[in-house]
Amino acid sequence: MRTIPHFIGGSPLAGTGRTSDVFDPNTGKVQAKVTLGDKALLDKAVADAKAAQIGWAEMNPQRRARVMFEFKRLLEANMDELAHLLSSEHGKVITDSKGDIQRGLEVVEFACGIPHLMKGEYTGGAGPGIDVYSIRQPLGVVAGITPFNFPAMIPMWMFAPALACGNSFILKPSERDPSVPVRLAELAIEAGLPKGVLNVVQGDKEVVDAILDHPDIKAVSFVGSSDIAQYVYGRGAAAGKRMQCMGGAKNHGIILPDADLDQAVADIMGAAYGSAGERCMALPVVVPVGEETAKRLRQKLVAAAESLRVGISTDAEAHYGPVVSAAHKKKIESYIQLGVDEGAELVMDGRGFSLQGHEEGFFLAPTLFDHVKPSMKTYQDEIFGPVLQMVRAESFAEALQLPSKHAYGNGVAIFTRNGDAAREFATEVEVGMVGINVPIPVPVAYHSFGGWKRSGFGDLNQYGSDGVRFFTRVKTVTQRWPKGGPVTDQSFVIPTMK
Ligand code: NAD
């Protein structure tokens, strides 16, 4: 059976020791093994990365940008192959895998502007003969730990700005779909990145802990579920590292009575069920405001969800594919049962769906609940599957409170024609990313991505200007070049501008 390697020092490296199964979610069969690294391997990767970083950081930013330009070209040239590889391990449909790669590629595009983005600040004549300037310098070796659901986009959110800034990078991808990150590293080397600057260390908690404790890793970017994000944040910060840790989500779509319901329903279908709901910016909760809106919305949602096609990843007609693993499918099914037990109304039950010829695949049909209450565990928890929950609100104020009071605060969307209401909502809601008639408000590459509350630990967001800030540190130089003349008096007072 095929074994997926690490990628260290510029080449694939077969591992030894423990392995983990990599499934094809379409068939339910194990298609490969991935080798799980350990502390010794991580030490080797960090030593290589540390040695390679010096020359890479010394290269001028325009040359580093050229590597990024070429990497972007190679991503485009290899898009089909990458998308098929991604879908075969993740299960999302090919068009969606291309979206996954494209959103990462757009961060690479942003990183191509690094000569401009890294420019510092300068004040001439801050005092007599005194100039002050600040420069941004790379941190050294930095690391990224990524989830299964975007195996191309999220690694690129992290390593594109980190590398462009002159760091070297250790990527610890999800053990569930580990092949695409290795291909990305190969393409980066092909694009001219020096060997050792980008490394992929496969693994699980053992490697994560080794990363968090390693004295030569200066910053760690993490994306995954909230409990792990909080653990990673705490352990890394305690070791003195710069940390940014994005967590889980439970995003709400608020439907005001004046919304264009047909458009909203079309948008909700993709946002709730696309990628089988396995997106941190999915929209698994809809909140119609008022009984009349709820009645009309429910009718339209049922009709639209019933017409969705669930299929294998390579089925060009399928709206979404299987979920990532048998264990995850079981977890989603148990949440559906819990919803019933808690007293929500199960309008559409996605359990028991079987795809002819792929009976062992990890498929679930769309599930829809109505009359879900904020007190229910199925509302409070992230389910991360093709399950849409309707929570009815009587007023705008009640609808605004729901996402604001929820433990997660990643994304939210409001559907309305009323600019006043939308503006008030966007200002007041306690959530990091807001969509106004936009169901999945993942910010473009030159803004930045980050949730609030249990959806994000740390202060700087992913990519955009925040990405550059996270992967650099500022050094401020105050210089004086006196013209000569008499020696100034000794002073024991802190220098001021008085
Ligand atoms: P996960 O938390 O299980 O895994 C994320 C990473 O942490 C993986 O690399 C994994 O190997 C590692 N890990 C797992 N258990 C660990 C442990 N006990 N100690 C140390 N490391 C551990 O997440 P997942 O299931 O791969 O991804 C889905 C989750 O990620 C969802 O909660 C989703 O909302 C979240 N997510 C968040 C964002 C965001 O930007 N906020 C984006 C995508 C996904």
Q: Scanning the structure block, which residue is given the tokens 């501008």?
A: 497
Is the C-beta atom of 450 inside 6 A of ligand 1?
no
Q: How far is the CA of 246 from the centre of ligand 1 (A)?
A: 9
Domain ranges of the chain: 2-247+455-477, 252-436
Residue 498 confidence (pLDDT): 79
Q: Which pTM was predicted?
A: 0.97
Q: How far is the CA of 223 from the centre of ligand 1 (A)?
A: 6
* Residue 482 CB contacts under 8 Å (≥ 6 apart), including other chains: 129
Q: How far is the CA of 313 from the centre of ligand 1 (A)?
A: 22
Q: Nearest CA to 314 among 254, 371, 358, 365?
A: 358
Q: How far is the CA of 473 from the centre of ligand 1 (A)?
A: 27
Q: Scanning the structure block, which residue is given the tokens 């169901």?
A: 439
Residue 316 confidence (pLDDT): 97
CATH topology of domain 252-436: Aldehyde Dehydrogenase; Chain A, domain 2 (3.40.309)
Residue 404 confidence (pLDDT): 98
Is the C-beta atom of 221 inside 6 A of ligand 1?
no
d(CA 392, CA 347): 14
Same fold, 2-247+455-477 and 252-436: no
d(CA 65, CA 83): 25
CA nearest ligand 1 atom 26, residue: 147
**Among 208, 250, 332, 449, which is best to mutate for testing ligand 1, by the most ligand atoms less than 8 A from CB?**
208
Q: How far is the CA of 377 from the centre of ligand 1 (A)?
A: 20
Residues labelled catalytic: 280
Residue 61 confidence (pLDDT): 97
Residue 414 confidence (pLDDT): 98
Residue 439 confidence (pLDDT): 97
For 240, the token pair is 């003195």
| CATH architecture designation of domain 2-247+455-477 | 3-Layer(aba) Sandwich (3.40)
Q: Scanning the structure block, which residue is given the tokens 């590629």?
A: 105
Residue 129 confidence (pLDDT): 87
CA angle 118, 119, 121 (to 5 degrees): 130
Is the separation of the CB atoms in 1 and 29 below 8 Å?
no
Q: Scanning the structure block, which residue is given the tokens 């050229």?
A: 66
DSSP summary character for residue 30: E
Residue 497 confidence (pLDDT): 79
Per-residue pLDDT of the chain (498 residues; tens, 9 = 90+): 899 999 999 999 998 889 999 999 999 999 999 999 999 999 999 999 999 999 999 999 999 999 999 999 999 999 999 999 999 999 999 999 999 999 999 999 999 999 999 999 999 999 888 999 999 999 999 999 999 999 999 999 999 999 999 999 999 999 999 999 999 999 999 999 999 999 999 999 999 999 999 999 999 999 999 999 999 999 999 999 999 999 999 999 999 999 999 999 999 999 999 999 999 999 999 999 999 999 999 999 999 999 999 999 999 999 999 999 999 999 999 999 999 999 999 999 999 999 999 999 999 999 999 999 999 999 999 999 999 999 999 999 999 999 999 999 999 999 999 999 999 999 999 999 999 999 999 999 999 999 999 999 999 999 999 999 999 999 999 999 878 888 888 889 998 877
For 420, the token pair is 């006043």
Is the separation of the CB atoms in 433 and 271 below 8 Å?
no
Is the C-beta atom of 410 inside 6 A of ligand 1?
yes
Q: How far is the CA of 33 from the centre of ligand 1 (A)?
A: 20
Residue 302 confidence (pLDDT): 98
Is the C-beta atom of 233 inside 6 A of ligand 1?
no
Q: What are phi and psi of 393, to 5 degrees?
A: -120, 145
For 39, the token pair is 């502390």
Residue 453 confidence (pLDDT): 98
Residue 364 confidence (pLDDT): 98
**Among 100, 107, 220, 228, which is best to mutate for testing ligand 1, by the most ligand atoms less than 8 A from CB?**
228
**Among 4, 20, 39, 148, which is best to mutate for testing ligand 1, by the most ligand atoms less than 8 A from CB?**
148
Is the C-beta atom of 36 inside 6 A of ligand 1?
no
Is the C-beta atom of 34 inside 6 A of ligand 1?
no
In ligand 1, which atom is closest to the CA atom of 146?
9
